[in-house]
Structure 1
């Protein structure tokens, strides 16, 4: 598998037939065990690597389902909003919030999705991750358990 394809599909995860974006998000959930700073670093790394990969794959610039590096980036950015000792329920909430933002594409997420091209492919999920992370931070600040 060429390097750009390996990055874009997360070593083939994006080729799973049912809900590849969900699988792309699930595969990075264990990163939460590393803590928020590592999740942030991984989110940035997946963002840069994904942009590189999509830029080198003309067929990926229309955001096909098999490109899941963007989901990995966004999910890691969401996980960065969780404390190091986050419970299973907070991780599940982060997963669900990110997937909802990615699917429903509210506000700036939808704007980025309509951009198209390599930047649009990556940016909508990055913004969805930031949005979901912001909701998690607000919920924690409000004192939710």
Structure 2
């Protein structure tokens, strides 16, 4: 069965009762009726604050692990909902934001700037993000465009921090 390109409205009860779907939907943050990606990124912030107490190597292990399992979470949820990259699937936004914040000193302005840069690249989708979004499918494709957006935001954020310092 070919997945639909039009997203179906996700039913909150099955999404939140299935652990894989619950994680893919960012603990329910992806159920927001408007801007689920933005709400998913917002939901990633408190978890980032918890993760920021880890050493850099521990943080990187968590981000890599979250990226790898995210391929399964996002792919399985898209398959079950029969919609490739359903807007409510926001685990990729969690990981993309966490990538943005790698080795960034935690402050209110770095959180706001990191959030804004990640959302900018995730929405704007400059090359190669747009190409990946259109041509790479399944859980890997769902994750990869946000990983790339996170990497662009990470580089931009570190450049801004360097220029401000």
Q: What's the TM-score, normalizing by structure 1? A: 0.87
Task: Let me know the Cα RMSD of the aligned residues.
Answer: 1.9
Q: Which runs of 4+ in 1 moved over 6 A?
A: none
Distance 1:55 1:99, change over 3 A: same
Q: 1:55, CA displacement in angstroms? A: 2.7
Equivalent residue, structure 2, for 1:6: 22
1:109 corresponds, among 129, 134, 141, to 129
Distance 1:60 1:112, change over 3 A: farther
Contact 2:74 2:91 in 1 (8 A): no
Contact 2:24 2:74 in 1 (8 A): yes
Residue by residue over 1:30-50, the C-alpha shift from the partner in whole angstroms, topping out at 9 and shown as x without a partner, is 314624725534432331222
Equivalent residue, structure 1, for 2:38: 22
Alignment of structure 1 residues 17-96 onto 2, 5 Å:
17-30=33-46, 31-32=48-49, 34-35=52-53, 37=56, 39-57=59-77, 58=79, 59=81, 62-83=84-105, 86-96=106-116
Alpha-carbon distance between aligned partners in 1 of 2:82 and 2:44, rounded to the nearest angstrom: 21
Alpha-carbon distance between aligned partners in 2 of 1:108 and 1:133, rounded to the nearest angstrom: 16
Residue by residue over 1:26-78, the C-alpha shift from the partner in whole angstroms, topping out at 9 and shown as x without a partner, is 11113146247255344323312221112323136611111000000000110
Contact 1:43 1:75 in 2 (8 A): no
Residue by residue over 1:74-98, the C-alpha shift from the partner in whole angstroms, topping out at 9 and shown as x without a partner, is 0011011412xx3211210100000
Q: Which has the larger radius of gyration?
A: 2
SS at match of 1:82: coil
Alpha-carbon distance between aligned partners in 2 of 1:45 and 1:81, rounded to the nearest angstrom: 17
Where does the alignment leave 5 or more consecutive residues of structure 1 unmatched? none
